[in-house]
A and B are shown apart, each in its own frame.
Chain A
């Protein structure tokens, strides 16, 4: 192969290292006004009155409220409960009420100070517990935004067969995306009377959908263009639909181009977070290590509006029993509404929470029967022919065991684990060493028959003899716009240098579905393979030496050649959404992590010395980019495990700055060992599966288990801070 499997440098690399790349805040738009947003500063209440200071000069300042929205005042996702601008009720701190635009940022900011809101405060609900016991009903009839049940076998029978039953509860908190480029969007009036909305966004067609419905315009009047993106991680999946509407409303009303760029503080307060969670486990196990029953309950905090929470919860509960053989599983899940900021998509999409719980719990189960964590996992790890908790039969491409075996041997796990255990109790050691393991997987693409929506993508022959990939999927830094051309080039049999990706503009590219769910390489890639086959049939033999000249000639003789194809869901996929039963995903990617830590025995400071990560991605189209995903995703997991937590007081994060919401620096990062396993998926392009989210799922429990190995302290809530370790240590030593 000439392109697939090769470390082709990122196509946007040159522009990024020279500073030439134009993110939305870098684009110079003539006569562009700047926008600001007046927001709720209470978690729950009725708007009594909006006061516009009469003493202020409102000339040259444009303001908008919900009354300026001609169509539906809602973002269009699974349900339409989130208003674009609050009408008479605010349900979280930071909810937008009035929009402002002015010729300069300082003028807009000045105007903002002259708008005040009066409220009647309502009794807010600010935690999963309060929502669950219905302290106040703030959403629907029972505060529940979504619920699921997954049943396989008979857990009662399973528990009856067990020698031991092990229970546990595990909690995680709010997790901030912390992309380096904050959210920003611009709306620019078009010469034809239409409007272009551009900015830092993952899913142009999502934004378009809300714009069309709220503005009552069709796609001939409005187009959405993705600007180069400085990181997203799911944080720019749903939120840009709101921000896009803000700039569009202000632009339409003022007739000017309008840009809104969030400051870091504002971004952390108002944009979505990872769902906080409480996961409980009850596991039946035999002395020989056979898992006889797993009963799991997953509770997520959805915040004020449902946004994407129903699908986040679904992915969470589907992954909650993990990659283990077990005949009897029973999983329940609820997503609870609160008056905190709406939680939404964040790399892993519900899976990191359930794997933190499961993989810590599995260590506890193994310990109960006196087995080592690795022997227990090797015994129970799924293989081809096994069925997951949704009863999905694993027919092919199951690299779980190989990943496990490879990390165990690369890190010399067994020996180190035993040795640490022996020295854990030694009082004189100032530094305790620990090693921990996790085994996990991530379903590629949308859940169930979700990919039946027939996403489109295409290839276009250009006048200059190059070929462009046409897709509504975006590159947010993950490298898809290098990987997709590699796939197209390989399929066409042309040099990779001849293929690029067109700018994702809804006026130009087809709707490929959103850039989420680790689906781009696998789904869009496989559409491109089919497009290439069709295109090849139309073109002359491309084995000739000067392909570019050949293509140029073809173009001059025949004109533009464009092939658009739709995704076809593998026919054997069967999914019952109601029962959450069947083939939850077309395929899974598998992985295992080994974390090695040093814990200061007195200050309880933890440093992660080394992370060994193995992933089965089917086929690594660009191995360096795959490694980049593995290391980057795992470092985000490290931050979540040890230091990251949005602390909310009365619905407002108190650490909404980079000085207080801290993420790992270069000195917090471990030494990396990455191992790529390739168990090809027959429906993936050249066998490829998803990689984007997977690496965030397994880092935290591996680190938590390593800390337990070092100290004998099992912290069941993230982040694992020295303060929590010390408290638990104190508690344990008092009892003695």
Chain B
């Protein structure tokens, strides 16, 4: 199955079996490996991407469910003209990054939150990242990093 989609800052053609997981198309077929596979069942959020403006788990979406013209944002797309986004910078500065495996998903959840809600409360921040498991931090530094970008 062929699809023409917007991936980060470019238009690409992807061709894969419709029952292939979207994450595998991204990681293995398109070599966009920033998106991580943590559990394969939508329980850890490491594979989070932003699909048409909404944060979703790419491990439980099949390539066949992607339409021509769909827009996908992965962690690679957060860098603009070689510059880190405010969230990326804040994550590094605040010690929110440890092993890094949850970070791409975490950043996309936070990006989706701030796109919709300019002034989230701490409770809303926690809600927005509660689908992203982190095993290294106590989440406190991640929440602080997001809060500083409001």
Contacts and interface: CB of A to CB of B under 8 A. Distances in A.
B126 A667 contact: yes
A485 to B, nearest CB: 16
Nearest to A665: B130
A229 B136 CA distance: 12
A17 B138 contact: no
A632 B38 contact: no
Interface stretch (A377-385, A570-578, A620-628): A620-628
Contacts of B74: 19
B101 A180 contact: yes
Contacts of A231: 98-99, 101, 135-136
A627 to B, nearest CB: 7
Interface string A174-189: 0001111110000000
A413 B141 CA distance: 25
Contacts of A625: 95
B135 A663 contact: yes
Contacts of B98: 231, 477-479, 628, 632
Contacts of A476: 99
A229 B99 contact: yes
Contacts of B39: 264, 657-659
A194 B137 CA distance: 39
Interface string B96-108: 0111111110010
Interface in A1-52: 7, 9-10, 12-23, 25-26, 28
Given A22-B33, A658-B38, A634 B138 contact: yes
Interface in A340-397: none
B143 interface: yes
Interface string A437-468: 00000000000000000000000000000000
Contact of B134 (A9, A180, A264): A180
Contacts of A180: 36, 38, 44, 46, 99, 101-102, 133-135
A583 interface: no
B100 to A, nearest CB: 3
A18 B34 CA distance: 7
A692 to B, nearest CB: 11
Given A635-B137, A666-B142, A179 B91 contact: no
A666 B139 contact: yes
B138 A632 contact: yes
Contacts of B130: 665-667
B76 A663 contact: no
B94 A657 contact: no
A682 interface: no
Residue of A16, A22, A636 contacting most chain B CB atoms (<10 Å): A16
B72 to A, nearest CB: 13
A179 B95 CA distance: 18
B44 to A, nearest CB: 5
Interface residues of B, number: 54
B78 to A, nearest CB: 7
Contacts of A630: 138
B94 to A, nearest CB: 7
Contact of A17 (B41, B107, B125): B107
A631 B40 contact: no
**Which of B35, B126, B140 has the most C-beta atoms of chain A within 10 angstroms of its own C-beta?**
B140
A: contact size bracket: 35 or more
B31 interface: yes
Given A178-B135, A180-B133, A181-B36, A666 B143 contact: yes
Contacts of B92: 9-10, 13-14, 17
A234 interface: no
A263 interface: yes
A669 interface: yes
A631 B100 contact: no
Given A14-B84, A667-B127, A19 B95 contact: no
B119 interface: no
Nearest to B75: A19
B99 A28 contact: no
Nearest to A630: B138
Interface in A414-454: none
Nearest to A611: B138
B88 interface: yes
Contacts of A636: 135
A665 B74 CA distance: 22
B129 interface: yes
A26 B95 contact: no
A493 interface: no
Nearest to B42: A659
A324 interface: no
A669 B139 contact: yes
Contacts of B78: 17-18
Contact of A19 (B34, B134, B135, B139): B34
B43 interface: yes
A672 interface: yes
Given A477-B136, A665-B131, A671-B140, 13 more contacts: A13-B92, A16-B97, A16-B103, A19-B76, A25-B33, A180-B101, A180-B102, A229-B99, A230-B101, A264-B40, A624-B94, A632-B98, A666-B126
19 contacts: A7-B95, A17-B97, A17-B103, A19-B32, A19-B33, A181-B36, A181-B101, A231-B99, A231-B136, A477-B98, A628-B95, A631-B138, A632-B98, A635-B139, A658-B38, A658-B39, A659-B43, A664-B139, A669-B126
The 9 closest A-B pairs by CB, nearest first: A19-B34, A477-B99, A631-B138, A230-B101, A16-B100, A13-B92, A19-B75, A180-B101, A658-B43
